[in-house]
């Protein structure tokens, strides 16, 4: 056991005070996602799509690697800093290629050097670790399958998770990501060797990645057909083998919540349930996300009901993908409230981004009161401040081309944390949770606070279907509307 009595690997929640974190790397040989049964990546810009080798796992441009690397390096510097100041300023955004209003965070050495109109935060130093550089342009293959290239190590969140004192490698669902956890292997081994008595290093069996693991017709479905089938929660991976990406899991101490998605199947949730018997594992469903992948742009616990600050337990929700009423009930009866994330400050997506504009809510908590958000996301910044938080910011839009944002690019190793019970009021029956024939699509009403939930209704902004308005509900309900196309994510 190391110095302060806590194992070197210790993270039970999303919000415990952060001490050690891995931040992803944009390696020179990072690749675009290749085409495969679990992934049909798209380019958002048709001119670029014509000009480059796509889809096919080509190497990303040196310029893009440079820009993403610089943002990740700045993120590390902010995490490592003892003191930072946050200030509103208009500045040129190299990804958006225009001037925009930002909340900009700068590292300062001495709080007395604070600039006028800035907020100073003595956040404390957080240790950052980085994955090992790899050549992602190498092809990979297994019996009966191959992938022209691999992907990159920008999103350790997808492959690795700390659950309590266990380091867990996910199975992954994409062939191109089979070996991605190797970029973190040196870190995992070192941590485990430091304290093998308390730290577990574990992995779910690697899938065969055979063709028979996938629903082949998934990518041919129209949005209308997807909408019609939303009750079945069947995506591109079938149930023949346990599959999960680590980013489909969110932790709240004794309870963890796992999203059924394109990247996580019921068998994967079942594997987690039987391998973490000391925890309560809850499958969660967001029926309006027709391409679900990773829970961290959909449902983000911010602080537990017992926290001193503000108005109690809060979870940030995405009102285009509301949680099921039946599943939200557990949160309501244990004193949590749902908070609508505001519409993103910018709805444009970088050309190679396979994620939605909801990367705006992809935040990393540094503690129950402080989190890191993207520096353009002033609407979110304001909502968080209103609810008693001290957000800080980093620029991260160049990472959006690499599969994620602030939360995705991290893997939290150590927090000041324990196996807290934030849901004492429940009857947990794991068998029933994953063995029922699931067809529930009755979601919480995001337009009004009800039954003790704070939903924080929002209104139309700039003619875009406003979150939580009747207009947005209508367009969500209509599979052919342009708005519902914007929900397409991977
Ligand atoms: N599918 C999500 C969305 O588009 C993006 C999730 C990214 N998260 C991650 N851990 N890579 O909204």
Choose the catalytic residue: 31, 152, 252, 408: 408
Tell me, in angstroms, the distance from the centre of ligand 1 to residue 111's CA. 36
Q: Does the Cβ of 281 fall within 6 Å of ligand 1? A: no
**Residue 50 annotated as catalytic:** no
Give the span between the Cα atoms of 67 and 191, in whole angstroms. 30
How high is the pLDDT of residue 55?
A: 72
How far apart are the CA of 158 and the centre of ligand 1, in A?
A: 9
CA–CA separation, 315 and 219 (whole Å) = 32
Backbone angles phi, psi at 67, to 5 degrees: -70, -45
pLDDT of residue 143: 96
pLDDT in tens for each of the 490 residues of the chain? 555 689 999 999 999 999 999 999 999 999 999 999 998 888 888 888 788 777 778 899 999 999 999 999 999 999 999 999 999 999 999 999 999 999 999 999 988 888 889 999 999 999 999 999 999 999 999 999 999 999 999 999 999 999 999 999 999 999 999 999 999 999 999 999 999 999 999 999 999 999 999 998 999 998 888 888 888 999 999 999 999 999 999 999 999 999 999 999 999 999 999 999 999 999 999 998 989 999 999 999 999 997 555 568 999 999 888 999 999 999 999 999 999 898 889 888 888 888 999 999 999 999 999 999 999 999 999 999 999 999 999 999 999 999 999 999 999 999 999 999 999 999 998 876 666 668 898 888 887 777 678 877 654 444 333 443 333 444 455 454 434 444 434 3
State which of 318, 362, 399, 486 you would mutate to test the pocket of ligand 1, scoring each by most atoms of that ligand within 8 A of its C-beta. 362
What is the per-residue pLDDT for 54? Answer: 74
Q: Which atom of ligand 1 is nearest to the CA of 407?
A: 10
By alpha-carbon position, which residue is closest to atom 12 of ligand 1? 356
Which structure tokens are listed for 453? 């939930």
Q: How far is the CA of 395 from the centre of ligand 1 (A)?
A: 17
**Cβ of 157 less than 6 Å from ligand 1:** yes
Specify the ligand 1 atom closest to the Cα of 354.
4
Question: Nearest CA to 282 among 310, 235, 237, 315?
Answer: 315
Compute the radius of gyration of the chain from its Cα atoms: 21
Q: Cα(386)–Cα(315) distance, rounded to whole angstroms? A: 14
Kindly give the distance from the C-alpha atom of residue 282 to the centroid of ligand 1, in angstroms, as a whole number: 20
pLDDT of 456:
74
Residues 68, 154: contact at Cβ < 8 Å? yes
The residue assigned the tokens 């006028």 is 116
Catalytic residue chosen out of the listed positions 294, 387, 398, 407: 294
Pocket lining: 14 vs ligand 1, CB cutoff 6 Å: no
pLDDT of the residue at 123 = 95
Q: What are the structural domain ranges in the chain?
A: 17-425+444-485
Q: Which atom of ligand 1 is nearest to the CA of 291?
A: 1
Ligand 1 lined by 296 (C-beta under 6 Å): yes
**239 near 434, Cβ under 8 Å?**
no
175 Cβ below 6 A of ligand 1: no
Q: Is the CB of 294 inside a 6 Å radius of any atom of ligand 1?
A: yes
Which residues fall within 8 angstroms of residue 207, CB to CB, at 6 or more apart? Answer: 171, 172, 173, 213, 241, 242, 243
Q: Which residue in 27, 158, 245, 417 is the catalytic one?
A: 245
Q: Is 172 left (phi over 0), alpha (psi -120 to 50) or beta?
A: left
Contact 414, 128 (CB under 8 A): no
Distance CA 131, CA 179 (A): 13
- Return d(Cα 215, Cα 148) in angstroms, integer: 21
Model's pTM, two decimal places?
0.93
Task: Answer yes or no: is the C-beta of 356 below 6 A from any ligand 1 atom.
Answer: yes
Between CA 374 and CA 363 the distance in angstroms is 8
Active site includes 440? no
**Top-level CATH class of 17-425+444-485?**
alpha beta
d(CA 273, CA 281): 6
Task: Give distance in angstroms: CA of 196 to centre of ligand 1.
Answer: 33
**Rounded distance between C-alpha atoms, residue 28 and residue 153, angstroms:** 11
Catalytic annotation present for 152: no
* 413 Cβ below 6 A of ligand 1: no
24 CB near ligand 1 (under 6 Å): no
The pLDDT of residue 30 is: 97
pLDDT of residue 490: 38
């Amino acid at each position: 056991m190391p110095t302060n009595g806590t194992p070197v690997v210790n993270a039970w929640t999303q919000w415990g005070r952060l001490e050690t974190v891995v931040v992803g790397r944009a390696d020179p040989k990072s690749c675009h996602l290749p085409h495969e049964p679990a992934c049909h990546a798209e380019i958002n810009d048709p001119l670029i799509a014509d000009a480059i080798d796509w889809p096919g796992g080509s190497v990303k441009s040196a310029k893009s690697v440079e820009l993403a690397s610089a943002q990740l390096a700045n993120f590390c510097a902010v995490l490592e800093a003892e003191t930072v100041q946050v200030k509103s300023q208009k500045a040129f955004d190299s990804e958006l290629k225009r001037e925009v209003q930002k909340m900009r965070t700068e590292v300062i050495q001495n709080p007395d050097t604070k600039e006028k109109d800035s907020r100073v935060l003595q956040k404390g130093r957080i240790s950052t670790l980085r994955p090992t550089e790899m050549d992602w342009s190498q092809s990979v293959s297994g019996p009966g399958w191959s992938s022209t290239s691999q992907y990159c190590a920008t999103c350790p969140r997808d492959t690795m998770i700390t659950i309590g004192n266990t380091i867990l490698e996910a199975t992954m669902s994409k062939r191109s990501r089979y070996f991605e956890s190797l970029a973190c292997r040196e870190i995992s081994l070192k941590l485990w060797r430091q304290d093998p008595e308390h730290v577990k290093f574990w992995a779910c069996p690697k899938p065969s990645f055979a063709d028979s693991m996938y629903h082949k017709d998934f990518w041919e479905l129209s949005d209308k057909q997807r909408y019609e089938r939303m009750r079945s929660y069947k995506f591109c991976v079938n149930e023949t083998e346990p599959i999960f990406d680590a980013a489909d899991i969110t932790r709240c101490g004794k309870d963890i919540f796992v999203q059924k998605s394109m990247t996580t199947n019921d068998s994967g949730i079942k594997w987690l349930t039987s391998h973490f018997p000391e925890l309560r594992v809850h499958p969660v469903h967001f029926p309006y996300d027709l391409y679900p992948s990773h829970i961290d742009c959909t449902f983000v616990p911010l602080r537990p009901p017992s926290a001193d600050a503000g108005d109690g337990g809060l979870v940030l929700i995405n009102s285009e993908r509301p949680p099921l009423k039946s599943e939200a009930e557990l949160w309501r009866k244990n004193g949590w409230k749902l908070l609508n994330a505001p519409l993103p400050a910018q709805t444009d997506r970088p050309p190679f981004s396979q994620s939605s504009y909801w990367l705006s809510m992809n935040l990393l908590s540094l503690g129950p009161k402080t989190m890191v958000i993207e520096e353009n996301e002033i609407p979110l910044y304001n909502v968080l401040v209103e609810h008693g938080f001290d957000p800080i910011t980093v620029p991260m839009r160049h990472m959006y081309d690499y599969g994620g944002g602030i939360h995705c690019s991290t893997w939290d190793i150590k927090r000041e944390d324990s196996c807290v019970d934030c849901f004492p009021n429940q009857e947990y029956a794991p068998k029933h949770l994953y063995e029922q024939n699931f067809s529930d699509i009755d979601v919480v009403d995001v337009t009004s606070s009800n039954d003790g939930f704070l939903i924080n209704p929002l209104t139309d902004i700039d003619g875009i279907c406003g979150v939580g308005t009747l207009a947005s509900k209508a367009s969500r309900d209509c599979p052919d509307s342009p708005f519902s196309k914007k929900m397409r994510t991977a």
